[in-house]
Amino acid sequence: MIRYLTHNQIDTQRWDNCIAQSPDGNVYCWSWYLDVVRPDWEALVENDYETVMPLAGGKKFGINYLFQPFFTQKFGVFSKNQTSEEKIEEFLNAIPEKFKFADFRIDKSYKTHTIYYTEIHRNIELSLNQKYSVLSENYNSNTRRNLTKAKKESLKIAENAEPSVIIELFRKNRGKGIKHWGDEEYDRLLKLVETAKDQGNCLVLGVQNTDNQIVAGAFFMMSHKRIVFLFSGSDESNKENHGLTFLLDHVIEKYSGTDKILDFEGSDNDGLSRFYSGFGGTTNYYYGLRFNKLNKFYKFALKILKRKKF
């Protein structure tokens, strides 16, 4: 039987035990991760936590809705056994009727449902199970050229760099164009990284120039044999140093010959997709799901809702 549980009804120990054993598990669905990105997250749970599905819900203008929180690429249905498409449909059908609008993503190639509109998202992934010499041979010419330039700049990797420095790099550069991110979002990201480090699930790396200044950096979430490239920041005035190329090459070399997968995460953007593919990764797909059960009045309210930050 599938039960809908509010946040205070969830047994996080049983929840995490299911996520730990799930072949499809991902870092976004550990209870500690959800506690940061959506503190009042809810869930669907089957029997004694044999299969689970996180729900990130909110309410505005009297509308209960489901959404994908910041710093989570996708959720899904997670089981101690392999999750079938039939099981996913069971869980989707069990979502409470109170939710009138939904827009979220799942970690499965689930294509059809009578209620949901589906859209395809792409993800670049690189298996690291070969020697570095083999992996680096698969870099495209542009990546090789940029890596050569980076090495000529005598850059070096700063292990355990300060997360706040990397976040500030982003805010002062690319972050200037992201108006819907404010102090609340950046504070949440910092808390997430610190929590993940305490859990042993986060790698924080910086790139230093010859003056020992951090010119680029990134956060990688580690879970279920995946190294997820969650967030990065770089100094645009030093972009010719190609610090992120240097950093990603370092991660590939460090974990080469292991059973891990480097998950580049945000690959819907064409430019980012080309950059990530330059390291020899392959394109995989997952699905976004959306439904709208609102009447005309609430559909108008939804237009206003979409302009607000979740």
pLDDT confidence of residue 118: 80
146 within a domain of the structure (yes/no): yes
Residues 133, 232: one domain? yes
DSSP class of residue 62 equals T
Asked whether residue 71 falls in the same domain as residue 186, the answer is no
Residues 168 and 186 grouped into a single domain: yes
Mean pLDDT of 66-75: 96
User: What's the pLDDT tens digit per position in 194-205?
Assistant: 999 999 999 999
Query: Which tens digits make up the pLDDT trace of 228-244?
Result: 999 999 998 777 899 99
Q: What is the domain extent for residue 105?
A: 2-120+288-306
Tell me the CATH number at 152: 3.40.630.30
Helix residue ranges, H only, 68-155: 85-93, 132-137, 141-152
Distance CA 102, CA 68 (A): 9
Co-location of 190 and 93 in the same domain: no
In angstroms, the Cα distances linking 196 to 92, 96, 226 are: 29, 31, 14
In this prediction, residue 307 carries a pLDDT of 55
Question: Is the pLDDT at 142 greater than 50, yes or no?
Answer: yes
**Residues 108 and 133 grouped into a single domain:** no
Q: Which of 2-11, 80-89, 209-218 has the lowest mean pLDDT?
A: 80-89
167/51 same-domain check:
no
Helix (H), strand (E) at residue 199: helix 183-199
| Residues 111 and 140 placed together within one structural domain of the fold | no
Is the domain of 176 the same as that of 148?
yes
Any domain includes 148: yes
Residues 110-125, mean pLDDT to the nearest whole number: 77
Q: Are residues 189 and 239 in the same domain?
A: yes
**Residues 170-195: tens digit of each pLDDT:** 999 988 888 889 999 999 999 999 99
At 310 the pLDDT is 46
Is the pLDDT at 22 greater than 80? The verdict is yes
Residues 86 and 58 in one domain: yes
Number of domains the chain is built from: 2
3-state SS class at 243: helix
| Residues above pLDDT 70, as percent of the chain | 92
Indicate if 95 and 31 belong to the same structural domain: yes
